[in-house]
Amino acid sequence: MTQVLILGGGGFIGINIARRLLDDGGYTITLADKGYRGRLEKYFDADERAELTVIEDDFTDPRAYAKLANHYDHVYMMAAIVGVNRTLEHPEEVIRVNTALTHYILDWLQRAEVGRVVFASSSENYAATTDLFDAPIPTPESVPLTGSDQVPRGARLRDAGALARGRRAHGAVV
């Protein structure tokens, strides 16, 4: 069985990754998130929930990572505060939480035995580019990014991507 960890496993994308892996079979799945708010019951029946390992903790606290196993074949990094309204209403909190999540996840990845990591970003990275330069939607990844102080989540994701690339350059599996 392939061991899978989904950080941000209570969110829309994390749940749908778990749903797909359960349907495909052959995976032992751990969902890790701050909260699930009844989502597991909505998306998984009782037998499926019995197949999932659920770790509920605040992963902006480095001590939370002690609850994770030391080995996973695949890790999906989906943990983040999302949503345009939250980003606009509480930009400092969004930046603080999402930066801490990225930092501590990358620290944990350097200590853990992980085969493959999938790091999620967002189309919000391209919001300023599409607004200022009329780039097409969907926007190809080959289009250069343009920063804007009007899109704090996009800036945070660019920074997180830079952190991940930097760690990879120094031997991390990201």
| pLDDT tens track for 18-53 | 999 999 999 999 999 998 777 788 999 999 999 999
**Residue 121 buriedness (CB in 10 A; 0-12 / 13-18 / 19+):** middle
The reply to whether omega before 138 is within 30° of 0 (cis) is yes
How far apart (Å, rounded) are the C-alpha atoms in residues 8 and 143? 28
| pLDDT tens track for 99-113 | 899 999 999 999 999
Identify the DSSP state of 59: T
What CATH topology corresponds to 2-169? Answer: Rossmann fold (3.40.50)
pTM value?
Answer: 0.79
Of 46, 49, 47, nearest to 18 (Cα)?
49
Q: Locate the domains of the chain by residue range.
A: 2-169
